[in-house]
């Protein structure tokens, strides 16, 4: 059978009629245009873009539809799935009854285990009897966290929060609360998955996607790179306007995720051409990946330098660094994320020999080395 020529991905980007926008060294070919929730915008004849709602400041997640071979009718695959919550499910159902009614879902790709990416994967897989394609570590984490639902958090978690600097009131509030919020936004995954390894090449329709994994945001976040057409489905690995959260995770409390994140930035910087079209999980498709990766790296190094300087003047717990690192009030909704990111920066300095830690009464106090 003759192989079809790969599509020219940028045709619709040339003819879309929207005014391109340049900001902070990045170019947004579609300007500020984005599809509505449950709508599909064709970036190319075989590549669609839709959005689903996310509560809070994120507002949305971008999802991607890829033309795929199917035994009957027109097939398509989905890359990332949205939160498993009523609004998202209703948008998917509307699409299945409408614009996707004559097409066949073939498989589901998930970049990483966070709920806004994997949330609907199990529901979709069970509904359409198709497989979930994920990195093994990310799939195992999703399965593990979905299953770990308890009336109260483990005592080791509470001790760790005290170590980070939580006061007794905040620790007690955690103690009486439930444990397992992850499962509330994630549908039950199938018992098996199709494994995505770093450097694997996956053919979807007429495109070949190379898997590139990165660490720091999650252990093995999987991006999909179409080198021939110059496109990357980047998930949270490369975002245009916000910086992905890099946190110490309870599953790996002694890890150094910021070192992994900076190494991943260098890895992607070396592998991707600067004119690649980046399809991020949040924000708008953009070009200028080198400038963005450079800014992500320099931003963290600037934070590390400020933090080290501050530690030369006074000792600090993780929760004492919020004003320095984030420059805005940290409310209860993001207190845990902020703590995890603060600890990631402190851990990096400690491992680099730029800070040291003293534990007093179960609380970690950091000083400059």
Residue 365 is assigned to a structural domain of this protein: no
* pLDDT < 70: residue spans in the chain: 1-17, 70-73
Find the length of the chain.
369
Residue 351 is assigned to a structural domain of this protein: no
pLDDT for the residue 154: 94
pLDDT for the residue 14: 46
Total count of domains within the chain: 1
CATH code of 204's domain: 3.60.15.10
Residue 339 is assigned to a structural domain of this protein: no
Residue 38 is assigned to a structural domain of this protein: yes
Residue 303 is assigned to a structural domain of this protein: no
Residue 346 is assigned to a structural domain of this protein: no
- If one counts every other C-beta atom within 10 angstroms of the C-beta of residue 126, the result is 13
Its domain, for residue 226, covers 11-150+179-291
Residue 342 is assigned to a structural domain of this protein: no
Residue 167 is assigned to a structural domain of this protein: no
Average pLDDT over the chain, rounded to whole? Answer: 93
């Amino acid at each position: 059978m003759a192989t079809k020529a790969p599509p020219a991905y940028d045709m619709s980007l040339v003819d879309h009629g929207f005014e391109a926008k340049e900001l902070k060294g990045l170019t947004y070919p579609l300007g500020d245009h984005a599809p509505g929730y449950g709508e599909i915008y064709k970036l190319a004849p075989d590549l669609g873009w839709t959005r689903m709602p996310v509560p809070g400041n994120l507002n949305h997640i971008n999802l991607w539809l890829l033309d795929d071979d199917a035994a009957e009718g027109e097939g398509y695959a989905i890359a990332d799935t949205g939160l498993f919550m009523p609004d998202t499910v209703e948008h998917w159902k509307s699409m299945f009854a409408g614009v996707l009614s004559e097409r066949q879902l073939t498989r589901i790709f998930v970049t990483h285990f966070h709920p806004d990416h994997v949330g609907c994967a199990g529901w979709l897989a069970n509904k359409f009897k198709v497989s979930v394609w994920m990195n093994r570590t990310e799939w195992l984490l999703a399965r593990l966290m979905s299953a770990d639902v308890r009336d109260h958090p483990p005592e080791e978690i509470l001790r760790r929060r005290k170590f980070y600097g939580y006061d007794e009131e905040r620790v007690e509030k955690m103690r009486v609360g439930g444990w397992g919020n992850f499962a509330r936004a994630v549908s039950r995954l199938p018992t098996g998955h199709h494994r995505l390894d770093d450097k694997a090449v996956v053919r979807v329709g007429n495109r070949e996607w190379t898997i590139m994994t990165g660490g720091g945001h999650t252990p093995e976040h999987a991006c999909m790179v179409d080198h021939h057409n110059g496109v990357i489905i980047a998930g949270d690995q490369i975002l245009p306007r916000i910086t992905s959260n890099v946190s110490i995770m309870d599953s790996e409390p002694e890890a150094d995720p910021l070192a992994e994140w900076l190494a991943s930035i260098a890895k992607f910087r070396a592998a991707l051409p600067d004119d690649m079209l980046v399809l991020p999980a949040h924000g708008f498709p953009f070009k200028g990946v080198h400038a963005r990766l450079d800014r992500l790296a320099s931003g963290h190094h600037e934070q590390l330098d400020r933090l080290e300087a501050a530690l030369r003047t006074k000792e600090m717990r993780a929760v004492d660094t919020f004003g320095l690192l984030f420059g805005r009030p940290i409310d209860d909704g993001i207190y845990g994320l902020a703590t995890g990111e603060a600890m990631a920066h402190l851990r990096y300095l400690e491992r680099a020999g730029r800070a040291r830690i003293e534990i007093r009464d179960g609380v970690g106090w950091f000083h400059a080395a």
